[in-house]
Amino acid sequence: MARTSGTRRTRTRSGGAASAWPFVLTVFAASRLLFLATGALAANFLPGAEPAGDPLEPPGFLSYWAHWDGAWYSEIATEGYGARAPASTAFFPLYPMLIRFGVGVGGEPTVWGVMVSLVATLFALYFVYRIAERLHDARAARAATLALAFFPTAFFMNAVYTEALFLALTAGSVWAAYVRRDLLLAGILGALAAATRNLGILLLIPLFLEWTRNRREFGGRGLVELAPVPAGLAGYAVFLWGRFGDPLVFARQQGEYWGRELTGPVSTAKDAWRSAREGVQYLLDPAALFLGADPTPALDASNALNLAFLVLFLAVAVVGLFVLPPGLSLYPFVLVLLPVLTPSPAFPLMSQPRFVLGAFPVFIVLGYLLSRNRTALVAWLLFSGALGVALTALFTTWRWVA
């Protein structure tokens, strides 16, 4: 197992980068075509829901990929943080900055948002492949790449969301440390991840533990090379201090605008179970989910999906304790479970299916498990892809998913 076999980490793997790219490109093309085509068909042929209030919706081509959070990122990219401050400060700056750069060249923010996400997805798949190959073998790497690319919420990696960029930067940071053995590059990519989401700072867990396990190889400069990781978060805090007089305004908005507050895990679990029981009825009522103008069925059904995805995550992450190095087995637990401590009242596990997508070590574990049985891999991909198609249709027709 990867945890106990030190020689495996230094052994040369067959193929390497040259053999990874053809497979990664093929999986990237197939998975993105599936989700992009589903989104276009759903947006054009399914009736849209009518969300309560006046949700943001940027105009233009591919606007259906910029629902919910995507509209915030599009507006920040074109108008800055002042338009809807302070609520807008909850969205970190690197992703809208990249969109803004593209808009400056020419084009609509939604198109550039999708383009940034697609490019990031390609690199995310490559980094996950290479990490899995290093820890296990090429067969596990191929299965891990497939599991990630066709995961039910992988359509978010097409959307004007930070999922793809955050995943590319976090997996890239770990790739730099675990595969390329370059802690300085890992620290720089970690800083960019922390400028994409505040949880990017959690990369210090796998990076620091990898340094402590291999101090002789990395040398005494490891801590200095990892020092840039918090810089992304610190830089954004300094900007907010100068602009709004409060370096932590982004954290306060999570509570004030989205209703998140610190809660004990037992209380969250009870609320999640109750909400899931109420929402599961809609999972068996496709007409209410996909054809009605009322967005409530999808909102309630999301509570059941949230709990199901959390249970799946926990099961796979526990296996990861035995097949991943210490840092990579701990990192996904902290990344996914921290939001559980700050639930939203109506949706205790809000966005869990999307957060699982960012915990890339679980896909390495999935790849390790599924690569042992071709039938299991095919069955998983069929189920996962079909569920992903359904969730894509919900998202692109203004129905809440995660």
Which of 25-29, 85-89, 164-168, 191-195 shows the lowest mean pLDDT across its residues? 85-89
Helix axes 138-149, 374-396, angle to 10 degrees: 20
Q: Is the pLDDT of residue 254 over 70?
A: yes
Provide the token pair at 4: 């106990």
pLDDT at 355: 95
Report pLDDT digits (tens) over 47-69: 999 887 777 888 888 999 999 99
Q: Quote the pLDDT of residue 177.
A: 97
State the sign of the Cα–Cα–Cα–Cα dihedral 127, 133, 136, 141: positive
Q: What average pLDDT does the structure give for the chain?
A: 93
Q: How confident is the model at residue 273 (pLDDT cuts 50, 70, 90)?
A: very high
Token couple for 228:
């840039």
Write the DSSP string, 178-196: HTS--HHHHHHHHHHHHTT
Residue 347 has φ and ψ, to the nearest 5°, of -135, 85
Q: Provide mean pLDDT across the span 307-326.
A: 97
The pLDDT assigned to 276 comes to 95
For 96-128, the pLDDT digits (tens) are 999 999 999 999 999 999 999 999 999 999 999
Residues composing the chain: 402
Q: In whole angstroms, what is the distance from residue 313 CA to residue 307 CA? A: 10
Q: What are the angstrom distances between the C-alpha of 12 and each of 9, 16, 52, 308, 372? A: 8, 8, 56, 38, 21
Average of per-residue pLDDT across 172-177? 98
Q: What is the pLDDT of residue 163?
A: 98
Residue 188 burial (10 A CB sphere; 0-12, 13-18, 19+): buried
- Residue 5 pLDDT > 60, yes or no? no
Torsion of CA 99, 131, 320, 220, to 10 degrees: -100
